[in-house]
Amino acid sequence: MAILIDRGTRALVQGITGKIGSFQTKLMIEYGTSVVAGVTPGKGGQTVGGVPVYDSIHRAIKETSPEVSICFVPGPYAADAAMEAVDAGLRLVVVVAEAVPLSDAVKMLALASERGSLVLGPDTAGLISPGRSKLGVQPHRLFTEGNIGIVSRSGALSYETAKTLTENRIGQSTVIGLGGGPMWGFTYRDALELFMDDQATDAVVLLGEIGGHLEEEAADYIGKGYPKPVVALIVGRTAPPGQKMGHAGAIVQQGRGAAQDKIAALRNAGALIVNAPREIPGMIKRELHKQPHC
Amino acid sequence: MEAAKKLAGPVVLKAQVLVGGRGLAGGIKFGEDPEEVGKVTSQVLNTLVEGERPSALLVEEKLEVTRELYAGVTYDYQQKRPVVLASSHGGVDIETVARENPADIAERKIDPFKGFSGYQARELAAKIQLTGNELVQYSKILSAIWNIFRKHDAELVEANPLAVLPEGKLVALDAKMNLDDKSILRQSSMLKRIGGIPPSQTGGLEARRARAKELGIPTYIEMQGNIGVVADGAGSGMLTLDLVADYGGKTKVYCEMGGETTSELMENALLAALAVKDLRAVLINLIGGLNLMDEMAKGITSYLRKHPTKIPLVVRMSGTNEDEGRRILTAEGIRWFDSLYEAVEKAVAASRGY
């Protein structure tokens, strides 16, 4: 059993009739995700790749009982759509849109925390449990089933890392993208908690970057005693300060959020620090070799 | 000078720049009489604030001030809430006050669904020891700042310093507003009304930045070096920059296209990057999920057909539709790499003339 999603998890796609939504739905279905319904207001009654489309989540729930959603609705409307999913009681909503206004994001995240739903994102690649299910946009050929959990702010950096692991015959249990920030629903800490109790996960790879507080928060958590090895990579070591490095949350401001501080915090907490994805396979093999069961 | 004469009396001259910290950089000066005004005008106009040259000068009457307060609204990114900040300690950076005199700040986290009410503004005013007419004026200003913050999807709105004049009136001597980049679509009418984002006048770099913006490149950064880096993801892009440095190379220009890229944007990113002089190599790192590699390949080949270049282009391509993308590159005689490390090594070697 993988964390968050698994074989047979019933998924809904919001914004399924759009160009990106329909293409990515096709890829998810090919991968084995059970996409049971799509929602696009005004397009109820159509089908996309065999998936029935509804005008609202309310209708979709009655007829298809989805548990989780991935939302391809564009930025200015994404938070409203995600709130519809949260309000309807879906336990997990993946928000792919990059440009969700902050004033919308705070409402979406407040509602989700009030209702106990998880929001992944915004600006996220989603998540994939290789060989089982995918609720995201990952190029899934780079991923293989296995025992390493990956959690990353950046989608592309998680692809890069999964690719390197796969090439070294190390598979992944679940790979999670948190999103570009500067505000996040689901965090590294949340992922670490789930990976801790996950029997399919033997070690965790934490892929961080400059800016924000999430890596420091993760370091605090790991420092209290984390039972599985954590390998950490922080990118942006050479990024000039004061510049947004592609993600809204990736900026070193007034000396805060610098890569070296995050690296120091994680190292002090007991995480194993690497400088590039290709150092990760060797590090993992050494660590898991030390453990009695592997 | 005309403006200063009209105000007849001591004036303050303020450099109009799009960055903070202008006071410390010498971008604010006082002139007691016309002679002094003339002298400091050219000083202020020629002062670079964080590399930015003032686009204009604001000339205002110099006011007698008894003390300076602070009022602002921003986001608490950790708590994921807007936060209203009040302080009896104005005129300095609020971050500095928070560090050195935290007791002088009162704050209120805002429930985004409930908003910020007048009574909450008065509570904050009382918490920073204001009374009487000052309390009433200050809380009205706080409410007004909150309304501006909400209406214009700002990330920050602050009045600092908010001066108390001898007769008890409150006047904002300076105000700053940062808009949320992610709300630009929704705020387009307001941006149009204020004439768009004013172009800066520092010349070369600013012109290239403005051009990159026009071309739709979300992130355009120049550094000291001779390699151009183009990437289709923030994290993979930063990794590329780090690896270039680890391999002994130096990046001159960095273009990041974001996770939803088109062939046109790929072409534009090369236009922006290759507009920079004296590049010795360009490294393109593509690892796409949402981005389709066949589209990226079309963008690269289209650019090269229109703008043949002797500068070596090193392409790393992996991800969604990679087979088709690589086929397109191969057909055009463009070599691609599957391994990021090999691509970085190749680009750094090329930058050294190998």
Q: Compute the average pLDDT of residues A43-65.
A: 96
Does B185 map to a domain? yes
Sort out which chain A residues have CB atoms less than 8 A from B260's CB and list them.
20, 98
Residue B161: count other Cβ atoms within 10 Å of its Cβ: 22
> What is the C-alpha to C-alpha distance for residues B138 and B78, in angstroms, rounded to an integer?
27
> What is the C-alpha to C-alpha distance for residues B107 and B87, in angstroms, rounded to an integer?
9
What's the count of helices (H) and strands (E) in chain B, helices before strands? Answer: 12, 15
- Cβ neighbours for A188, distance < 8 A, ≥ 6 positions apart: A151, A178, A206, A208, A214, A215, A217, A218, A221
Task: For an interface test with B, give the residue of A247, A252, A275, A280 to mutate (most B CBs within 10 A).
Answer: A247
pLDDT of residue B273: 95
Residue where one domain finishes, among candidates B193, B217, B243:
B193
| Alpha carbon distances (Å) from B40 to A57, A175, B1, B27 | 64, 59, 11, 10
Spatial CA neighbour of B31 closest among B50, B46, B14: B14
* B184 and B233 assigned to the same domain: no
What is the signed CA dihedral for B134, B138, B139, B142, rounded to 10 degrees?
A: 180
B258: left (phi over 0), alpha (psi -120 to 50) or beta: left
CATH number of the structural domain spanning residue B272: 3.40.50.261
Sort out which chain A residues have CB atoms less than 8 A from B239's CB and list them.
157, 160, 235, 276-277
**Nearest-CA distance A71 → chain B (Å):** 14
Spatial CA neighbour of B62 closest among B14, B1, B134: B14
CATH number of the structural domain spanning residue B48: 3.30.1490.20
Q: What is the pLDDT of residues A102-144, one digit of tens each?
A: 999 999 999 999 999 999 999 999 999 999 999 999 999 999 9
DSSP SS3 for B124? helix
Does B199 map to a domain? no
**Nearest-CA distance B90 → chain A (Å):** 19
Sort out which chain B residues have CB atoms less than 8 A from A276's CB and list them.
239, 242-243, 246, 341
Residue B104: count other Cβ atoms within 10 Å of its Cβ: 18
pLDDT of residue A294: 46
Residue where one domain finishes, among candidates B35, B61, B87:
B61
* B29 and B15 assigned to the same domain: yes
Residue A258: count other Cβ atoms within 10 Å of its Cβ: 18
Task: For an interface test with A, give the residue of B76, B149, B222, B239 to mutate (most A CBs within 10 A).
Answer: B239
Does B198 map to a domain? no
* B29 and B128 assigned to the same domain: no
Does B148 map to a domain? yes
* B160 and B231 assigned to the same domain: no
**Nearest-CA distance A293 → chain B (Å):** 33
Residue where one domain finishes, among candidates B193, B215, B243:
B193
For the cut 50, the answer to whether the pLDDT of residue A88 exceeds it is yes
First to last CA, chain A: 19
Run means of pLDDT, 10 residues per run, chain B, 354 residues: 72 83 82 85 82 82 92 94 96 87 94 96 97 96 97 95 94 92 84 64 71 91 95 96 97 91 95 94 94 96 95 96 97 95 97 89
For the cut 70, the answer to whether the pLDDT of residue A222 exceeds it is yes
* B108 and B52 assigned to the same domain: no
Query: pTM for the whole thing?
Result: 0.91
Instruction: Tell me whether residue A247 is one of the annotated catalytic residues.
Output: yes
> Which residue's entry shows tokens 């391509």?
B317
CATH number of the structural domain spanning residue B81: 3.30.470.20
Does B44 map to a domain? yes
Cross-chain Cβ contact B183/A103 below 8 Å: yes
Does B120 map to a domain? yes
* B218 and B254 assigned to the same domain: yes
* B116 and B88 assigned to the same domain: yes
Residue B96: count other Cβ atoms within 10 Å of its Cβ: 11
> What is the C-alpha to C-alpha distance for residues B332 and A276, in angstroms, rounded to an integer?
31
What total number of domains does chain B contain? 3
Which domain, by its residues, includes B277? 204-351
* B215 and B274 assigned to the same domain: yes
Domains in chain A, start-ordered, CATH in brackets?
Answer: 10-120 (3.40.50.720), 126-290 (3.40.50.261)
Q: What are the DSSP E strand ranges found in B136-267?
A: 154-164, 170-172, 175-179, 219-222, 227-231, 251-256
pLDDT of residue B1: 62
Does B296 map to a domain? yes
Q: For chain A, what is the mean pLDDT? A: 95
Sort out which chain B residues have CB atoms less than 8 A from A111's CB and list them.
113
* B6 and B105 assigned to the same domain: no
Residue A173: count other Cβ atoms within 10 Å of its Cβ: 24
> What is the C-alpha to C-alpha distance for residues B4 and B78, in angstroms, rounded to an integer?
45
Residue A293's Cβ-side half-sphere holds a number of Cα atoms within 13 Å equal to: 6
- Angle subtended at Cα B201 by Cα B196 and Cα B205, rounded to the nearest 5 degrees: 100
* B94 and B186 assigned to the same domain: yes
Query: What is the value of ipTM here, to two decimals?
Result: 0.93
User: Which of these is catalytic: B70, B138, B254, B303?
Assistant: B70
* B238 and B331 assigned to the same domain: yes
> What is the C-alpha to C-alpha distance for residues B269 and B228, in angstroms, rounded to an integer?
10
pLDDT of residue B188: 81
**How do beta strands B81-87 and B105-109 pair?**
antiparallel
Cross-chain Cβ contact A163/B318 below 8 Å: yes
Q: Which helix (H) or strand (E) holds A76?
A: helix A75-87
In the 8-state DSSP scheme, what is residue B182? G
pLDDT of residue A293: 53
User: Which of these is catalytic: B52, B134, B138, B158?
Assistant: B158
* B151 and B215 assigned to the same domain: no
> Which residue's entry shows tokens 């236009």?
B271
pLDDT of residue A218: 98
Q: What are the DSSP E strand ranges found in A80-171?
A: 92-95, 118-120, 126-129, 133-136, 145-152
